[in-house]
Structure 1
Amino acid sequence: MKIINLTIPTIIAMSSTTIMGIVNLIIVGSLGYEHIGAVGITNVIILNLFALFGAIGYAINYLVAQHYGAKNYEKCVNYTYTGIYLTLILSIPILICSFFAPTYIYKIIGASETIVAIGTGYLSLRLISFCFTMFRTVFLGFIRAIGDTKSPMYSGIIGNVLNIVLSYVLVFGMFGFPELGILGAGWAFLIAEIVQTIYVVIYFYLVKELPTRQIPPFRKGEFKIVSSESAKIGLEDLGMSAAMILFTAFAARLGDIELAATEIALNVLSLAYLPGIGFGTTATILIGQKIGEKNNIAARLTGVKILKVGAMFLIPLSIVYFFAAEQIARLFTDDTLVIEYTVIVLMLASFFLIIDGLQLVVAGALRGVGENTYLMKTSLLLGWVFFVPLTYLLTFVASMGLLGMWIGFYVYIVALFVAFIIKYRKIEWGKIEIRG
């Protein structure tokens, strides 16, 4: 029951940014498939940024979980503030890029001139929003690590409701507001992200059990640990997400319709990944706390139990994706050809959702142990040495087009799962010690 109580709120909370991106995609979908392509490309770019820089929150999550289990509360707060300092440093170049880089980013990916013209302003607003996302994930990493997953859930609900209302109002110019089109979706996202960030900051400073209002001095040793662990986790996630930029570029090369179908599928699947991410986060928290308590055998059994419970959630979801593929596609567009391509991808995806979710759970368990170096190396190796070349060969050399792209992606997911589960079985649990 504890696993479920931690995981369900986590899934809801983590769905915040994902659902906000999907809502924007649905709302602007009525404006045309070029708008779908523009929003979809932006979502992939933000996914890559989150993979690299949002990793600070994941590092804080596992470091605080271990020290919370060891009842070293001062360290919990110190690591959180260190994450804030690091995020502040990284936000500066992202803010600068938000004003000067969007047009070049679209062109590098290979988007058409139409999509570049449509999406540049939207991407600028999303980059500014991302700076708030980074700060929010640091605070969320701390909050979840101390066992509270409901407060992040409330934050996510507030953000989603606000984004839905504002997107509809600002995109179409309702209730006397100006009709901003795709820019309205960008402004809605930014406002919702700011509100969510304010919520978690207030919560952090109101925690009574830990000295959160005592701002610690900068400590080089702790900064080095947070930077190092964040870099490992970020590069691990970047192994997949950066490869997905090339994946998107392949789709753009096939054509705007194929790109639209790919972006719809990627955004829909990002929602399907949430149970795996949620259970993986729960594994990080509970395993990290058990290691902090020096109860390593219980930590290992906890990971196995979470994997079993996660499978029970993922199987029904895969069935829904198979039988409701067309209905899901129609939420985003009424273009017959785009729907046809999207349905094929989603039906194929239903067979791989279970494995994909489970690899995320095992990755979370390995993160709780502190195996971030292995996760990083494996993800980068399989992503760039295996996934990208295989996908290119199937798509263009074998002339399989969109189908070849997605087959390459699913084979990659299976390879990740196998690599992670082998590592989990080989861990010498009796020798694991708390990090930092």
Structure 2
Amino acid sequence: MLQNWRNVLILALPSFMSFFAQTAIGTVNLILVGHLGALNIAIVGVVNIIMYNGFAIFSGVSHTVNYLVAQDYGAKDIKTAIKRTYLALYLSLFIAVFLFAVGYFFSGTILGWTGGSTALVHEGEYYLQIRFYALALGMVSFMFHGFLRGVGDTRTSMILSIISNVMILFFAYALTYGQFGFPELGLNGSAYAILIGEFTGFILALYVFFIHFNKKFHTLVKVAIKLRELKLIVIESFKLGMQEFSMSFAMFIFTVFVARLGTEALAANEVALNVMSFGFMPAFAFGTTATILVGQEIGRQQPLKARRAGTDVMVLGSIFLLVLGTFELIFAKDIAMLYNSTDPYVYETAALLIQISAYLQLFDGFLNFYAGALRGMGETSFLLRMSLITNWCVFVPLAYVLIFVCGLGSIGAWISLYTYLAVIGLAFMYRFYKSDWSSIRAKDMESHN
């Protein structure tokens, strides 16, 4: 058991550090922009929502590469893993061109759709355009990270992520405020910093895959496009991407509902969600680990070991979240006051929401742990169906009823959130343990219909 847990931690901790670096740099970047005024904060907030949903739609490519490569690597069929990564690269490059075009031609139109003021659209159009360019590069890099995690090299993925985010932090400060001899570009300097960071990550990812790993895996090969094989990548990417988008857009609707309660309620909600994100990071890291370990064991035709690996990830991840939840429960008010110590309604409401989520965030863990394990099994259709059902038949309707019909305000919002997380998390758990493990096989080119 101890050896199994050690293997889980070796894979999970670098992934956790990668996600922590991304979250921390995003927070610092927002603080830097925050000193430029309320309009700039609003622009960044709106653009971040657009970027988050855009990333979710196309993230399925990386998730698909992650689980397919894990299965191939477990089966010691690295040639198929490389072939599938090339096909995913072709698809990612097509997506990147699409995102470049959207950013160049439609940034102002998209900002207008958000209902923002004329000033927000005018000042934010170029900022959004640059962010689209950065997203395009980031989607290609993220696909390569899927390969790295698939072969179990979460350490290299972590190093690339940290380097990219350190670049963003340095140039965000230098270009926003004109430090170290760089021009003072204000808000657009922040966008250029993200673009530089993503470009750095893109170049490093290319180097690692095509040069560093060429000696070990012979990655420099010519791979022709075969429609049957490409179809598998496209369909699996679509299902996993739509699953992520369904969740991200439902959270956007949830935020819109809370915003109608007033500025203070929205502020308290955002503080609590930000604190909750520190539980989401390890949950997602352990979920990614489940994909790797389960996928590799499925590739080795060891389904019972795959089942055990998924359980080990769940146990360790749950312990981590319970310890974190205990800390949040005890120090909820102190944590809330770190964000806002001048408005009693904001920090007291935020503290209450943090206490509600302290142990209930375990269901968010179940969602991520078992979603990762089910990806490793290739259960992508089930993941999509359950995401659509629970988000649009449970989460969003229940949030509306509890917030506006029952008049429960922020408390009703969070009851709906954790009801949803409990339903989907337990559904994923049930599917994982009730699957016919004797019949589970690695995904091949004929099994995607």
Is TM-score (shorter-chain normalized) higher than 0.5? Answer: yes
- CA distance in structure 1 between the aligned counterparts of 2:340 and 2:383, rounded to whole angstroms: 37
Superposed displacement of residue 253, structure 1: 3.8
Q: Give the letter aligned to residue 408 of structure 2.
A: M
- CA distance in structure 1 between the aligned counterparts of 2:135 and 2:322, rounded to whole angstroms: 32
1:251-290 equivalences in 2 (<5 Å): 251-290=258-297
Does the aligned pair in 2 maintain the 1:44–1:244 contact within 8 Å?
no
Superposed displacement of residue 243, structure 1: 0.9
1:304-343 equivalences in 2 (<5 Å): 304-325=311-332, 328=335, 336=343, 339=347, 342-343=350-351
Superposed displacement of residue 16, structure 1: 4.2
Does the aligned pair in 1 maintain the 2:112–2:121 contact within 8 Å?
yes
Residue in 1 that maps onto 2:307:
300
Pick closer, same or farther for the CA change 1:78–1:416 going to 2, 3 Å: same
Q: Give the letter aligned to residue 355 of structure 1.
A: F
Does the aligned pair in 1 maintain the 2:52–2:248 contact within 8 Å?
yes
Q: Does 1:428 align with 2:433?
A: no
Q: Does 1:417 align with 2:422?
A: no
Higher relative contact order (CA 8 A, sep 6+): 1
Aligned match of 1:98 in 100, 103, 124?
Answer: 103
Aligned match of 1:211 in 215, 218, 243?
Answer: 218
User: Which is further off, 40-49 or 287-296?
Assistant: 40-49
Residue in 1 that maps onto 2:384:
376
Pick closer, same or farther for the CA change 1:350–1:39 going to 2, 3 Å: farther
Render the CA deviation track for 1:292-333: whole Å, top value 9, x for unaligned: 111111111111111101111111222333445555556666
Render the CA deviation track for 1:386-436: whole Å, top value 9, x for unaligned: 111111222223333333333322221111111111111210000011101
Does the aligned pair in 1 maintain the 2:59–2:244 contact within 8 Å?
no
Residue in 1 that maps onto 2:228:
221
- CA distance in structure 2 between the aligned counterparts of 1:331 and 1:169, rounded to whole angstroms: 26
Render the CA deviation track for 1:322-362: whole Å, top value 9, x for unaligned: 44555555666676365555444434332322221222001
- CA distance in structure 2 between the aligned counterparts of 1:185 and 1:330, rounded to whole angstroms: 27
- CA distance in structure 1 between the aligned counterparts of 2:46 and 2:393, rounded to whole angstroms: 23
Q: Give the letter aligned to residue 412 of structure 1.
A: Y
Superposed displacement of residue 143, structure 1: 1.1
Does the aligned pair in 1 maintain the 2:291–2:376 contact within 8 Å?
yes
1:38-187 equivalences in 2 (<5 Å): 38-111=43-116, 115-116=120-121, 119-187=124-192
- CA distance in structure 2 between the aligned counterparts of 1:114 and 1:339, rounded to whole angstroms: 31
Structure 1 unmatched runs, 5+ = none
Residue in 1 that maps onto 2:365:
357
Q: Secondary structure at the match of 1:352?
A: helix
Superposed displacement of residue 147, structure 1: 1.5
Residue in 1 that maps onto 2:12:
7
Aligned Cα root-mean-square deviation (Å) = 2.4
Percentage of matched positions with identical amino acids? 37
- CA distance in structure 1 between the aligned counterparts of 2:52 and 2:288, rounded to whole angstroms: 18
User: Which is further off, 15-24 or 297-306?
Assistant: 15-24
Does the aligned pair in 1 maintain the 2:172–2:189 contact within 8 Å?
yes
- CA distance in structure 1 between the aligned counterparts of 2:246 and 2:280, rounded to whole angstroms: 16
Superposed displacement of residue 47, structure 1: 2.1
Render the CA deviation track for 1:30-59: whole Å, top value 9, x for unaligned: 445554443233323222222220110010
Superposed displacement of residue 211, structure 1: 1.9
Residue in 2 that maps onto 1:402:
410
Residue in 2 that maps onto 1:197:
202
Q: Give the letter aligned to residue 411 of structure 1.
A: T
- CA distance in structure 2 between the aligned counterparts of 1:332 and 1:31, rounded to whole angstroms: 19
With normalisation by structure 2, the TM-score equals 0.89
Structure 2 unmatched runs, 5+ = 1-5, 445-449
Superposed displacement of residue 217, structure 1: 1.0
Does the aligned pair in 2 maintain the 1:37–1:260 contact within 8 Å?
no
Does the aligned pair in 1 maintain the 2:99–2:136 contact within 8 Å?
yes
Render the CA deviation track for 1:59-96: whole Å, top value 9, x for unaligned: 00110111111111110100001111111112222222
With normalisation by structure 1, the TM-score equals 0.92
